[in-house]
Structure formats: structure tokens, C-alpha cells
Amino acid sequence: GENVEQHPSTLSVQEGDSAVIKCTYSDSASNYFPWYKQELGKRPQLIIDIRSNVGEKKDQRIAVTLNKTAKHFSLHITETQPEDSAVYFCAASLGNFNKFYFGSGTKLNVKP
Amino acid sequence: GAGVSQSPRYKVAKRGQDVALRCDPISGHVSLFWYQQALGQGPEFLTYFQNEAQLDKSGLPSDRFFAERPEGSVSTLKIQRTQQEDSAVYLCASSLRESTDTQYFGPGTRLTVL
């Protein structure tokens, strides 16, 4: 089955700096890659997703890039704010309502 | 509109007890997933329903785990003879019929087995 690895496990940045979280996947058939933000004790919330037919997607301060050849994808957050502090999970899926395989999470701390 | 809801939010069980966890998906969502999230880890897939049909139960860790969705809406995850290793947050997610893969998660049920 699919194996998703996520790095780093913790990331601390100063407010206003950029943050980058990287994930790799093993199954070349995976074609849908969502990113979720989970605050302590709360549900995972989708923040951005990308499908395998595009290489990059942007939504305000958040962007995701995908390299299908290398089988890795990254989350980029610019101009970080304290409210960005949370655990971020990447996931990979075969699409078509298939299950998600999640990474182990990155705890992002944005220091004011 | 209303999101995915789960009940109870917290459940404490003594080892050996049976528990039932409920998920109410977003109205009209065809697909429903259950995930198990251990402390400090990402969610791990348990089982998947399309309407009332359980199409994938490959993630259920043992035959003590059973899930159902008899009318294609509300789902129940049942764990029999709970063990300490069953302690985790159980997340439910639902997904719309059309060609979107977005899964919307519920708040989870935190199960603690003593």
C-alpha cells in the first residue's frame, strides 16, 4: 500500500517568516494530495489540495507544489501568523473516493 | 450548513467493555470513512462506506471492530471487548457524490480504555 512520509516533525518560525513542510509518497498511482490543519482537540480542516495533473496551486498565503517524478509534494506558508500555529498533515489518495494515507504530522509553532 | 458530527465526544471504558461510536455525515454525502488517530500521529484508515455498502474494511485492526451504515446516512463504529491499545481518537469523514475527493472530518470521539 501507499506510504507517506512527512518532514519535519516540528517547525518553529518567527512571525512573518515562511514555513515549508515536505511529504513523499511511494505509490505512483496516487493522484490526489490534500493538506489538513488540525488545532489541538479540533477536527482536521482542509486548507489546500492538489491533483496530479497540476504542479502548483496557490491560495493567498498558502501554496502546494507537486513533483510527480520524484513523488514528493510540499506545503508553503508565507508571512506566517501566530494563528497558523497547529499540526499540519499531508495525505495521498488514489482518488475516486479512496481512503487517505496520512503523514505523521508537522507541529508548526509561529512565534510572535 | 451543518458539518460532520460525532458522538459521544469523549468515552471512557473499562477494559473488556463494548463501545459504540456514532457519526452523522453531511446530509447527502455518499461516502463515509472511519479513521483512528493515535496521540501524536496522523489518522489511519479503518473502513469505508459508499451509501450502505461497506466497500473497504481493510484497516480494521481486529474482528473486535465492526462498522455499519444500514440506511446510508448515520454510521456506527462498534468495538467489542475493548483493550488499552484501542485508546485513540476515532475520526469520521464524509465525501460528496460528485467528482470531488474532499473529505470533511468530524470532531472525533476520544476513547480512553482503562
In this prediction, residue A65 carries a pLDDT of: 97
Answer yes or no: do A49 and B48 touch at CB < 8 A: no
Percent of chain B with pLDDT over 90: 89
Per-residue confidence at B93, pLDDT binned at 50, 70, 90?
very high
Q: Do A99 and B45 touch (CB under 8 A)?
A: yes
Size of interface A-B (CB pairs under 8 A): 58
Q: Copy the grid coordinates of residue B73.
A: 446516512
Residue-wise pLDDT tens digits, B99-108: 567 899 999 9
**Is pLDDT above 80 for B97?**
no
Indicate the average pLDDT of chain A.
94
In sequence order, what DSSP letters do the residues of B31-55 get, joined into one string? EEEEEEE-TTS--EEEEEEETTEEE
Verify whether the Cβ–Cβ distance A46 to B104 is below 8 Å. Answer: yes
Under 8 Å between Cβ of A62 and A86? no
Strand partners, B76: B22, B68
Which residue is associated with the grid cell 468515552?
B11
Question: What's the pLDDT at A95?
Answer: 74
Q: Is the peptide bond before A8 cis (omega within 30 degrees of 0)?
A: yes
Instruction: Say which amino acid occupies B99.
Output: S
Helix (H) / strand (E) element for B93: namely strand B88-95
Q: How far apart are CA B30 and CA B4, in angstroms?
A: 13
pLDDT at A47: 97
B4:A43 CB<8 A: yes
Q: Which residues of B touch A44 (CB under 8 A)?
A: 43, 91, 105
Which residue of B103, B104, B109, B112 is the best one to mutate when testing the A interface, meaning the one whose CB has the most A CBs within 10 A?
Answer: B103
Q: How high is the pLDDT of residue A97?
A: 67
Please report which confidence band the pLDDT of residue B1 belongs to, taking 50, 70 and 90 as the band edges. low
pLDDT at B98 over 70: no
* B106 contacts A99? CB cut-off 8 A: no
Distance CA B33, CA A97 (A): 9
CA distance B10 to A40: 15
Q: Is the pLDDT of residue B94 over 90?
A: yes
Torsions phi, psi of A2, nearest 5?
-70, 145
Q: What pLDDT, on the 0 to 100 scale, is given for residue A99?
A: 86
What would the pLDDT profile of A76-112 be if each residue is shown by its tens digit?
999 999 999 999 999 999 877 688 999 999 999 999 9
| pLDDT recorded at residue B100 | 62
Tens digit of each residue's pLDDT (9 = 90 or more) over A20-76: 999 999 999 999 999 999 999 899 999 999 998 889 999 999 999 999 999 999 999
The one-character DSSP state at A26 is S
Answer yes or no: are the C-beta atoms of A58 and A42 closer than 8 Å.
Answer: no
Pairing of strands A86-92, A72-77: unpaired
